[in-house]
Amino acid sequence: MFRNILVGVDGSPASDRALERAVELARDGHARLTLLTAVPKPPGFAAGMGDASAVAALVEGLDREALARLAEAVAAIPDELPVTTLVSRRPVCRALLERVSTGCHDLVVVGTRDHGRLRRWLSGSVSRAMIRRCEVPVLVVHDDRPQPTRRSVVRLTRRRPSSSMPAHERIRAA
């Protein structure tokens, strides 16, 4: 089975479910767990720009949150399982892929939330990127909680189609 499982931890419900599944696999196969959380550098802060103390305070706050996330995750793991924790300054996907490239891990477990297509296109998806680029198997665990229904707003018009309208407008107006 698997000997060393790498788990992406971000504190989300999907990440919590991924950790639960990784713990089950580690317990069944007597594997080690490595929990990795990423704390990328804040975007938009180039060297020499902005107030250095404000940037330092922001980074310190992000570090505290990351350590708290890891501590909470470790607390949920049975004592008999060996656990290593890591914090990376890289973007999540890059951090996971770099860790896998060390050759220490034979499975990656990540959580995923069901985003709409537009949101996924704009923000990207760590799980999709890992599946495409990772050298070892990737287990993607979905957040099983029911998602709230989304409302759609449709504008209805009473305009009559005219021959001067573009074809797609004529279809909508009809």
Q: What total of structural domains would you count in the chain? A: 1
- CA neighbor of 77 nearest in space, from 129, 37, 25: 25
Q: How far apart are CA 38 and CA 69, in angstroms?
A: 11
Residue 48 is which amino acid? G
Structure tokens at 17: 């479910």
Q: Residue 142: its pLDDT value, please?
A: 87
How many CB atoms are located within 10 Å of the residue 18 CB?
26
Q: Residue 146: its pLDDT value, please?
A: 60
Sites in the chain below the pLDDT cut of 70: 43-50, 114-124, 145-174
Q: Residue 151: its pLDDT value, please?
A: 52
Which CATH number fits the domain that encloses residue 109?
3.40.50.620
Q: Residue 84: its pLDDT value, please?
A: 96
User: Using one digit for the tens of pLDDT, what is the confidence trace for 100-124?
Assistant: 999 899 999 999 876 556 555 545 6
Sheet-wide strand order for 4-8: 83-88, 32-38, 4-8, 107-112, 138-142
Q: Which domain holds residue 111?
A: 4-173
The pTM of the full predicted model, rounded to 2 decimals, is: 0.75
Structure tokens at 167: 């074809």
How many CB atoms are located within 10 Å of the residue 162 CB?
9
> Do residues 32 and 161 make contact, with C-beta atoms less than 8 angstroms apart?
no
Q: Residue 173: its pLDDT value, please?
A: 46
Burial (CB count within 10 angstroms: exposed 0-12, middle 13-18, buried 19+), residue 111:
buried
Q: Residue 52: its pLDDT value, please?
A: 72
Structure tokens at 54: 């404000």
Q: Residue 56: its pLDDT value, please?
A: 78
Q: Residue 60: its pLDDT value, please?
A: 86
The DSSP secondary-structure symbol of 155 reads -
